[in-house]
Amino acid sequence: MNKTLMKKLAAFLIALSLLPVQAWATGYTGTKYPIVLVHGLFGFDNIGPVEYFYGIPEALRADGAKVFVTQVSAANSTEVRGEQLLAEVQRILAVTGASKVNLIGHSHGGPTTRYVASVRPDLVASVTSVGGVNKGSKVADFLLGVAPPGSYSNAVVVSLSNGLASLISFLSGQPKLPQNALSAANSLSTAGSLKFNAAHPEGVPASACGEGAYQVNGVSYYSWSGAQPATNILDVSDPALVLTSLAFAGEKNDGLVGSCSSHLGKVIRDDYGMNHLDEVNQFIGLVNIFETNPVTVYRQQANRLKNSGL
């Protein structure tokens, strides 16, 4: 009797050992599927010790999540960046053996992740848009207005922007990624975003400032964003975001993206006391001390995904 019981117990333990590793992720952030972080315009995975998602990957991994930080073109169209991300997702799935990923994209990373979910929903469990440019940015509209395509000023701005994007890619170890700042600006404009949304409407609110579908083609959609351009007197980037926030003429925004434009799927919040860079815990963690820390918000979202079986 005891021998039979021991044999059954041994067989059970062997069977458990053969289960995918993700089935054992039981910590607070231990999602079923890997989390993939996607940067925005002029973004990167890391440059030396400086991470774009500052301190966030480590915090997620500490409590059970498998986390990958991708690198796509620092400046290019949503479609080009989306194809690059799709290749990265396929590589991550091959390495991990997972069947899907949870995509979290900041700024231009929002539409970039949406592209992948739209063309390959079978590979994506969820999309979380953080300060995502889902209905365009008035800052992009303003820049295209004062430096219209074909003008001398536009040529100068595009040349400098392409140079900056190329430098960022070089420093982050991806010098061969193509850069096209004009395509990026067009993608981030209101007109460009509306065109993109017509082709990839999943999760986009039908109303001006409502919520979108929570789930489309098996992909769950979430979003959150900040609404306070200046948050920390020690942060050298705050003055620039205060200046760019003037383009919104009083509309609630994070310095670069209007709160309503950031909406996608289930809106967790659109009024955190954060600006556009605080949303990724930048500048090096100098954020609003009177608001929930951005790292905590990412941890909460990972837990939300975990509890949803994602």
Residue bearing tokens 């964003």: 225
How many CA atoms, within 13 angstroms, populate the side-chain half-sphere of residue 108? 29
Return all residues near 141 (Cβ < 8 A) that are at least 6 apart: 189, 190, 247
Collapsed DSSP state (helix, strand, coil) of residue 98 = coil
Is residue 278 among the annotated active site residues? no
Q: Which two tokens stand for residue 126?
A: 């969820």
Is residue 108 among the annotated active site residues? no
Return all residues near 242 (Cβ < 8 A) that are at least 6 apart: 229, 230, 255
Buried/exposed code over 98-114 (b: 16+ C-beta within 10 A; e: otherwise): bebbbbbbbbbbbbbbb
Q: Which of 73, 77, 107, 225 is catalytic?
A: 107
Give CA–CA dist 178/248, Å, rounded: 31
CB-based burial label for 96 (10 Å; 0-12, 13-18, 19+): middle
Is residue 45 among the annotated active site residues? no
Q: Which of 45, 238, 254, 270 is catalytic?
A: 254
Question: Which residues are known catalytic residues?
Answer: 107, 254, 276
